[in-house]
Structure 1
Amino acid sequence: MAEASTSGATSLVRVWDLPTRLFHWVLALCVLGSVVSAKIGGNAMVWHMRLGYAVLTLLLFRLLWGLVGGRWSRFASFIYSPAAWLRYLRGRPQRGDWFEVGHSPLGALSVLAMLGWLVVQVGSGLIADDEIAITGPLVRFVSMDTSLAWTGHHKSWGQWLIYALVALHLLAIVFYRVVKKRRLVGPMISGDKVLPPEVPASRDSAATRGLALLLLAASAAAVAWLVSLGTL
């Protein structure tokens, strides 16, 4: 690999900043809670809605953090050009490609697919109507036919594709651990990877964490405003 050190020396390099790690684990818990509450139904649907708002807040935060976050959390680090994809598929990375530091090209596709589909799923929930007791806060802004169509998506293809993407994510973790002998879970907990010392580290200071809190608060305020439109 181009990212291999010529001297063989390695060191701990901060790859995943704390805001990215917290986003990852909190999002996983919120999605899990959302699925469980939907299966329970009844009064648990109140929590299904609340967790949906939390997921939307996290997704909006991740969009912002992908622009100003740590080096390896930025979209610029894992949205690859066609030429980079070709080098990756051929196994001929150039110096500075760093395909195995943050998200590899294939891993990036998985991440972007998951984030994008969660946006669609949450968006459909905002205009859904189960015709029993729960309606999305923005249902009054769309026609009944549109609402029912997206409700059907939310309950069927929407959730099943999320299951498929989660399963693919878990299989990738097992594949990397068993076949490539690389741990993906550990670095998402500690934030660090053993890498050549010339690999650039992500910023993860008190200042960047403070910025993340401000962005999260702004994201929560934006979601609260969006939800409030349904009561105006």
Structure 2
Amino acid sequence: MLVKVWDPVVRVFHWSTVGLFVGAYFSAEWGQNESHLVVGYGLAGMLLVRLLWGVLGSHHARFANFWYGPRHSLNYARSLLTGKPDHYLGHNPMGAAMVFVLLTLLLVMSLTGLLLAAGLEFEGPLLLLNPMLSDDAIYLVLGVHRFTVYLLLGCVALHVLGVISSSRLHQENLVLAMITGKKPLPLSSTSPTHEGSEL
């Protein structure tokens, strides 16, 4: 039985962010400043939509529905060691933690990028802050921006490994699920969040 899990907004955000991040990274590496700015604005815009959708969106898109406490996350980590972790239709506790980390890093990267646009290019929604951005401040912001990018690259690698591992453990294709929005509902699941719309 297949159930709807990821709505179109979540899926479009996910894959658009992948493409925009790759574009932003290589445009910076190749010194394409104009392209980097355009892609960066697109990334910041997509992030804003996702943050709003995390409050107003469908069940599995809302942050409140995959915010797990430390105790819940620890229990899930223990179940991983047994090789038989609990199944979650939406984000499992480890996946949910990574989502929040990635969104936080994307937010820091976007804000520092917008500050750099204001301080160096004299443009963008934060342009009013330009008079407050001294050379030292811009240097600091640039350092944070670059460091955040490297942190994101590391977290993305961990995210991909987690997706592969979870797909194998639960015998489901999580990449395909993020394309179609549908996941198989196990005949028996210990997940407290396995509700969905039957297809």
Shared fold (TM-score, shorter chain, > 0.5): yes
Structure-2 residue corresponding to 1:104: 92
Structure 2 residues not aligned, in runs of 5+: 80-85
Q: Is the 8 A contact 2:73 2:94 kept in 1?
A: no
| Superposed counterparts of 1:11-160, under 5 Å | 11-41=1-31, 44-91=32-79, 100-128=88-116, 134=121, 137=124, 138=126, 140-144=130-134, 145-155=136-146, 157-160=147-150
Relative distance call for 1:36 and 1:147 in structure 2 (3 A) is same
TM-score, normalised with respect to structure 2: 0.81
Letter in 2 for 1:39: E
For residues 42-84 of structure 1, the C-alpha deviation after alignment (integer angstroms, 9 at most, x for no partner) is xx21111111111111111111111121111111121013443
3-state SS in 2 of match to 1:164: helix
For 1:30, give the aligned amino acid: L
Q: 1:108 to 1:35 in 2, by over 3 A?
A: same
Q: For the structure 1 residues 57 and 181, does the alpha-carbon distance in structure 2 shift closer, same or farther, using more than 3 Å as the test? A: same
Q: Secondary structure at the match of 2:61?
A: coil
The match for 1:183 is 173
Identity %: 35
More helix, by proportion: 2
Q: CA deviation at 1:148?
A: 1.4
Asked if the contact 1:125/1:136 (under 8 Å) is kept, the reply is no
Q: Deviations over 1:160-203 (max 9, x none)?
A: 11111111111112222345433210100111111048932269
Distance in 2, matches of 1:202 and 1:50, equals 38
Q: CA–CA distance in 2 between the matches of 1:125 and 1:141?
A: 17
| SS state at 1:102 partner | coil
Matched length = 184
Bigger radius of gyration among the two? 1
**Quick one: structure 1 residues 99 and 57, their matched pair in 2 at CA, closer, same or farther if it must change by over 3 Å?**
farther
Distance 1:118 1:76 in 2: 19
Q: Distance in 2 between matches of 1:142 and 1:99?
A: 50
Contact 1:14 1:193 in 2 (8 A): yes
Cα distance in 2 between the residues matched to 1:196 and 1:171: 23
Q: Match of 2:196? A: 201
Secondary structure in 1 matching 2:59: coil
Secondary structure of 1:103 counterpart:
coil
Q: CA RMSD in A?
A: 2.7
